[in-house]
Amino acid sequence: MNMDKRKISILIVDDHPMVIGGLISCLSFYEDMEVVGQASNGKDGITKCLELKPDVVLMDISMPTMNGIDATEIMLERAADTKVLIFSMHENPEFVANIMAAGAKGFILKDTSTEEIHFAIKSVYGGRPYFSGSIATNIIENPMPKNESLTTREQTILAFIADGYSSREIATALDISCRTVEAHRRNIKSKLSIDSFAELIRYALDHGITKK
């Protein structure tokens, strides 16, 4: 065995100490990965991610302060090299669709075996999506509609656009790059099948998406 082989660094974000403890315990048996940090909510998870720069984040969905879906979207804006693997008890198709839209690379359930957790982490680290069997079946049987609803982050950016902020001003306000803002603009237009700026503003106003 090559003892110099780099370990996969992992950050666990979950509001249940017993879940974190269990994950740390089961992952400690694998020499190819290492838990480098933990957080109890999405907001602290983002801070830890930027500080520790883990390879993979194991992310819960339902947490206080900030949920896993919003945290994933913000985290991946600021730490593009990190991969997020959702670890949750929820398998509602809406949760799956939203977390995929936020940029997560996989979704496994909390009753998943230790061996599958290990395999899932290695898969997303290697750039391959991974979903628990029932989640994968759900995706196949209920594919996301082409114009799925906007994520929380996209709604925030649309609100800034509707209030007249430029991409540079939005980037400064949200502490992200202009390139990321422009990517969000394109995604929003694609999801809503909207081409013009005027139509975008009208949609925002009609749906009450504004910061004022």
Report pLDDT for 77. 87
Q: In this model, does residue 105 exceed pLDDT 90?
A: yes
Closest CA to 10 of 32, 36, 28: 36
Measured CA to CA, the distance from residue 108 to residue 138 in angstroms comes to 13
Q: Is 39 helix (H, G, I), strand (E, B) or coil?
A: strand
Tell me whether residue 3 is in a domain.
no
pLDDT of residue 138: 67
pLDDT per position as a tens digit, 133-184 = 777 766 665 665 544 578 888 888 999 998 889 999 998 988 888 888 888 8
What would the pLDDT profile of 107-141 be if each residue is shown by its tens digit? 999 999 999 999 999 999 999 999 987 777 666 65
User: Is residue 94 domain-resident?
Assistant: yes
* CATH for 199: 1.10.10.10
DSSP lists the bridge partners of residue 84 as 57
pLDDT at 143: 60
Domain that holds residue 179: 152-206
Could you tell me if 132 and 156 lie in one domain?
A: no
Task: Using the Cα atoms of residue 6, residue 12, residue 18 and residue 23 in order, give the sign of their dihedral.
Answer: negative
Measured CA to CA in angstroms, residue 202 lies from 40, 82, 193 at distances of 39, 36, 13
Model confidence pLDDT, tens digit, residues 58-90: 999 999 988 998 899 899 988 989 999 999 987
* Tally of domains in the chain: 2
The β-bridge partners of 87 are: 108
Q: Does a structural domain hold residue 133? A: yes
